[in-house]
Chain A
Amino acid sequence: MPEIVFDGKKVTVPAGTNLVEAGGAAGTSVPVFCYHKDLGAVGACRVCAVSIKQNDKTRMAMACMTEAQDGMDVTTLDPQSRQMRKWVTEWLMVNHPHDCPICDEGGECQLQDLTIATEHSIRRTELKKRTFENQYLGEFITHEMNRCITCYRCQRFYQDYAGGRDFGVTGSRDRVYFGRFEPGAFESAFSGNLVEMCPTGVFTDKLFRYKSRVWDLEISPSICPHCSVGCNILPGARHRMLQRVRARENEAVNGVFLCDRGQFGHGYIMDPARPRDLRMSDGTTDWDAALGVTGGALLEIARAHGGESVALITSTRASVETHFALEALASGALAGARISHFEDADREASALASLSALATAGAQPLEQSDLAGCDVLVIAGTSLVDEAPLAALAARQCARRGGRVFVVSPLERYLGDVATVIPTHPAAVAGTLEALASGTGDGAVAAAGKALMGAQKPGLLLGGDLLDGPALAAGAALARSLVRSHGSSGKPVRFGTLFPGPNGFGAAAMSKDAALAGILADLEAGKFKAAVVVESDAAAWSPRARQALGNLPLLIVLDYLPGILADTAQCFFPTEATYESNGIYVNRAGRAQGFAQVRVPGRSVIEEIRDDSFRRSYQRTPNEGGARMAWWILDALRKRTVGSPEVRDLAGIRDALAAARPAWAPLRAVLAGDEGTVLDPAAFQPATATTPAFERGDGLRVFRMDRTLGSEVLSRRSEPMRKMAGTPVALVSPGDAARLKLGGRVSLDAGGSAVELECRAEAGVPDGVVLVPRDVEWPILPKQGASVRVTAALAEAAR
């Protein structure tokens, strides 16, 4: 552990620490452009020059390229270092266009910081500024190459860190260009990080363009609601508009990164179709009155028909507090009300089974940071970049650090260049995992099994979409056997699964059983008189279940998304979306993380002003709507049904939760903006659920799956997201495509429920599989792995 003096302060740092980090430890933030802790040091920008006195000699060196050595006396304050920074500023400003007034980076631009720090104000060269043509890079990112200071961070992130091959650096000398071979949308699912990586304004958030100065934004710590990874974010709002989303650093989860879905998927919040107003079939417009009427009606039904005549349904995008508030409603007269915490019965069963597997495996949690730290990582039953993009980015880092990554899946479209992919029919994943555990199998399977057995830090990550019950059981058994073989020698075995939605773990932990299938069957059978559906969606329900909603004497819906539920409800209460509310989500690895209200929901000020004036001050609360957090509405209904006193605040509901379910007690310590608290799945004594086995059989089987952009329930409502996602495409194996002459538009018929969409052969997809994006709307949603007939679409056949 070398001890050095940095700007007069003594500090001891771990061996191998570079002087930028050592400076940070001593309280000096050494200015950097090209250096980034996750991209490493390359020594391109030369702004981190420091003077180092060592063995009575003084030299100047780049802090990022120099390891701290015992006895170094380092300073950034001597005339040489100061002068060097001035020169670097001057060199970089030779070509920079000084367009700060219209640059979205302004206010958080490292180049601005440096020009101010070095007091650069005079241009001493008469060089003509070089100019570049910009490229269209898709709907998310604006390109402004004239601002480039050539730090290579964008290229290093895009190519080296994220594995992209369609963007990089061309040209040379003072005409280095960062762009694509041709204008067009980025292929990478992680392109949005270029905004954060670029120290100046070359890559800026297109959705945020000309919206606000960054210092005017209202910002609060929040959690990304677009998958179960739970990336930490800083949404920014102004003029009552949610304007942008930026990563918030959390080393255990997302580091400083986000995926494009999370960064640019927020359009649903300002969606004009969003239901913003309280809507009661009796015309009540006052919240208090509406809650009274609704509570009264619910109570009346419960008294007349018993609590079991009431269905309570929420989903994985609702907060822990909302889940609990819904559960708490089922008491008093409503005792016996049927509850499901999921909107999709298949996913409910698989999430419960996953939690149970995590609880019983005896392994350590496999968090994002653990993914990168594994020496052998097996990923099974998922197309990871589609289901949980940031997990795929972390898995790539595992490979980059020398870890061996194996993927057992019918589709892998991101890690193929760094991982050993074992293309596997979803029905065969279980068999492959069993082979890994028993050390049987051959080829890549044998290699993976051998690698796992010899691993110092093994990790196993199971998916949700493409994993059946037997595969989950086999995965859990594999984890247990690894714990047995490795645990005795103190090698940690890490085991994780994916969950649906941002709070799938929380929903599963809250569930007492897999109830939705039964609830929906009884709904179809007309056994319910009332339902309370909270931030949930009926898309995965059968048409008859959806139909039955209309016949319910009382349907109460709480949501911030439009849809059939909101349209059908007699009592509709608008709720606040994640960025507008306070609460907790539990991510896929059991990390409970708080989010805090960023903005008051409502139509934007810009819509109200209806002219181009730019108001610095405006009315913060909207005139209309008055959406509330879902848990608050539920609690208000509880007061009006059960009669218990209102909880009133977040701490209150968390206390109540802790009292009712002690396993949730750690939540009381969670604060929005902190790093979160990891919950032990075993503490919840999760319900067991049986999930069916996929079948292989003859013919083609259909599997629904996420795609990175366009399938997730919130982000797909965002206009730029829809454009970037394009129309959904069904994927089949090249063999099946040739055999059945598939390609172009096809019709998929799963037992009478048919859809038409584009079909493409994808290398690596096993025979017998049709992979269909989750956002394809079926008349009746087929079961995962259902038999499907694929034929050329009528229009195609006619051609």
Chain B
Amino acid sequence: MTEVLLRARAGTDGRPASIDAYRAVGGYAGLARALKDLKSDELIEIVKQSGLRGRGGAGFPSGMKWSFVPRGEKWDGGPKYLLCNADEMEPGTFKDRVLFEQNPHALIEGMVLAAYGMEMTEGFVFVRREYFRQTDDFEKALIEARQAGMLGQNILGSRFSFDIHVHRSGGRYICGEETALINAFEGKRANPRSKPPFPATKGLWGRPTTVHNVETLACVPGIAANGAEWFKNLAATPEGAGTKLYGGSGALEAPKCIERPIGTTLRALIDEMGGVRGGKQLLAVIPGGASTPFIPADQIDVPMDYAALEKIGSRLGTGTFIVFSEDDCPVHGTLNMQRFFARESCGFCTPCRDGLPYGVEILERFEQGRATMADIDLLDQLYAFIGPNSFCALAGGAAEPIKGLIRHFRPLLEEHVTSKGCPFARSREAVHA
């Protein structure tokens, strides 16, 4: 099994891999190579060729993102910032935390490389405050890296200088949206900003900024060390690139986070996690956090990769999937997720702020046995207008599970109407008694 991101692991003391442990398995070799042999343009080109796509949910090609930042003659020489988005709050998602706990130097090396490629001056890690211990440990890793000359002035004796600072958030899902994250970072309310201007030209403190997910950045050292082809070949499918931190939670026998070639099938991943809890039948899976549509049980042979999931009407998202067994009601689960989205709306735009609570109320009618058949269409219509017409992607994400619910579980919604309530209510009680 090829583990790249997690090639160095936490020790028996529970502390993350030290810089020595990381270097022992080839860590910081990519950085050394890049600083010695590669110009920033060449590094960007390699990242482009590698096919690396954002692991935070949107899946934007990383090399392209790097190329948007003004460099060379287009750069005025002022500060440019690299922001690492470690505000992991997507329900069902815990992969970035695992990377922090196991192998923080992969992130540090990735950030230095990204900064080198984009000729950036400063890096920041925006992390949710709930990751108390992980962040403390990460700050220790930063000190290790500085002491080893991997961070700070003249990295590895080169002319390149760069440092990383940590910003702990007050906890709010919307901070994961890149422009909201920038506002939050500046100490303002975390409302998203309008684009354009894009962060690449006008981001943090009005300066060129790139925001990357933790896992995305941690992929870069391997690419820098071994090249684009090597990275592409890591994937389980010809069209994929790299490995992926797959997390599984919900009705699983052994929920956990594992690194596997991207494109590994959902079935294989579920099997690796001990199958469905209590040997029950699988009903459905949400493949990549609460902002991705349901996949019914008969489609779990799908490779967990961007294109394959889009082909069946779903999305890879964060790649951390949530399993529903035959005892778990997708309507109830959807209601839970909609409550989350409504609660975490920043309150800026109307569809999200006032439309999402409306959706919650409709779903409550189903759960409480007050819904009519017309409410299914009302729900459908409501989210059809909320999703695409909101200011940022939060409400669009909220519409995704609704889309999947209505597509795959319309009969179940109807059953909620005819049986005046949730047919799973009793089994849920039994499971969690």
Contact = CB atoms under 8 A, between A and B. Distances in A.
* Touching chains A and B, CB distance < 8 Å: yes
Interface of A: 41-47, 49, 60, 62, 65, 83-84, 87-88, 90-92, 94-95, 124-127, 149-150, 152, 169, 171-176
A46 B392 CA distance: 12
Contacts of A175: 347
Contacts of B349: 43-46
Interface stretch (B125-133, B226-234, B306-314, B354-362): B354-362
Nearest to A94: B354
B346 interface: yes
B213 interface: no
B353 A150 contact: yes
Contacts of A44: 348-350, 391
5 contacts: A65-B194, A87-B382, A169-B189, A172-B345, A174-B353
Interface of B: 172, 189, 194, 342-351, 353-355, 357-358, 361-362, 365, 378, 382, 385, 388-391
B358 A125 contact: yes
Contacts of A173: 342-347, 353
Given A49-B389, A149-B350, 19 more contacts: A43-B349, A44-B348, A45-B349, A62-B389, A65-B194, A83-B385, A84-B385, A84-B389, A90-B358, A91-B353, A91-B354, A91-B355, A94-B357, A150-B350, A152-B348, A172-B172, A172-B346, A173-B346, A173-B347
A42 B194 contact: yes
B189 A127 contact: no
A90 to B, nearest CB: 8
- Describe A's contact surface by its main secondary structure: loop
Given A172-B345, A173-B342, A173-B345, A46 B390 contact: yes
Contacts of A171: 347
Contact of A174 (B342, B365, B385, B391): B342
A198 to B, nearest CB: 16
Contacts of A127: 357-358, 361
A88 B349 CA distance: 10
A175 B354 CA distance: 10
Nearest to A33: B350
Contact of B351 (A46, A83, A124, A149): A46
A445 B347 CA distance: 46
Contacts of A150: 347, 350, 353-354
A171 B330 CA distance: 31
B345 A125 contact: no
A92 B350 contact: yes
Nearest to B375: A124
Contacts of A174: 342, 345, 347, 353-354, 357
B357 A176 contact: no
Contacts of A88: 350-351
Contacts of B378: 124
Contacts, number: 83
B385 A87 contact: yes
Contacts of A126: 361, 365
A172 B388 CA distance: 21
A87 B385 CA distance: 8
B350 A176 contact: no
Contact of A125 (B172, B344, B350, B362): B362
A47 B350 contact: yes
B87 to A, nearest CB: 16
Contacts of A90: 358
Nearest to A61: B389
Contacts of A92: 350, 354
B358 A94 contact: yes
B354 A95 contact: yes
A88 B353 CA distance: 11
B364 to A, nearest CB: 9
B391 A43 contact: yes
Find the residue from B342, B350, B382 having the highest chain A CB count within 10 A.
Answer: B350
A155 to B, nearest CB: 10
A41 B346 CA distance: 18
Q: Which 4 A-B pairs have the closest CB atoms?
A: A91-B354, A176-B347, A173-B345, A172-B347
A42 to B, nearest CB: 7
Contacts of A42: 194
Contacts of A94: 354, 357-358
Contacts of B347: 150, 171-176
Residue among A44, A127, A174 having the largest count of chain B Cβ atoms under 10 Å: A174
Given A44-B391, A84-B389, A91 B351 contact: yes
Nearest to A62: B389
B230 to A, nearest CB: 39
Given A87-B385, A91-B355, A91-B358, A45 B350 contact: yes
B361 A87 contact: no
Nearest to B195: A65
A438 to B, nearest CB: 34
A86 to B, nearest CB: 9
A413 B344 CA distance: 39
Nearest to A90: B358
Nearest to A88: B350
A46 B388 contact: no
Nearest to B392: A43
Nearest to A172: B347
Contacts of B351: 46, 87-88, 91
B385 to A, nearest CB: 5
A60 B387 CA distance: 12
Contacts of B354: 91-92, 94-95, 150, 174
Contacts of B189: 169, 172
Contacts of B194: 41-43, 65
A43 B342 CA distance: 19
A664 to B, nearest CB: 50
B413 to A, nearest CB: 17
A91 B361 CA distance: 13
B193 to A, nearest CB: 9
A505 to B, nearest CB: 42
Given A65-B194, A83-B385, A176 B353 contact: yes
Contacts of B342: 173-174
Contacts of B355: 87, 91
A238 B217 CA distance: 68
A83 B351 CA distance: 13
A150 B362 CA distance: 23
A125 B385 contact: no
A176 B174 CA distance: 15
Contacts of B362: 125
Nearest to B358: A125
Contacts of A152: 348
Contacts of B388: 60
Nearest to A127: B361
Contacts of A47: 350
Nearest to B391: A43
B367 to A, nearest CB: 13
Contact of B389 (A46, A95, A125, A149): A46
A651 to B, nearest CB: 52
Nearest to A175: B347
Contacts of B357: 94, 127, 174
Contacts of A95: 354
Contacts of B390: 46
Contacts of A176: 347, 353
A76 to B, nearest CB: 14
A530 to B, nearest CB: 67
- Among A95, A124, A172, chain B packs the most CB atoms within 10 A around the CB of A172
Nearest to B342: A173
Contacts of A46: 349-351, 389-391
B374 to A, nearest CB: 10
A711 B187 CA distance: 39
Nearest to A124: B378
A124 B361 CA distance: 10
Nearest to B355: A91
Nearest to A59: B388
Contacts of B391: 43-44, 46
A150 B353 CA distance: 9
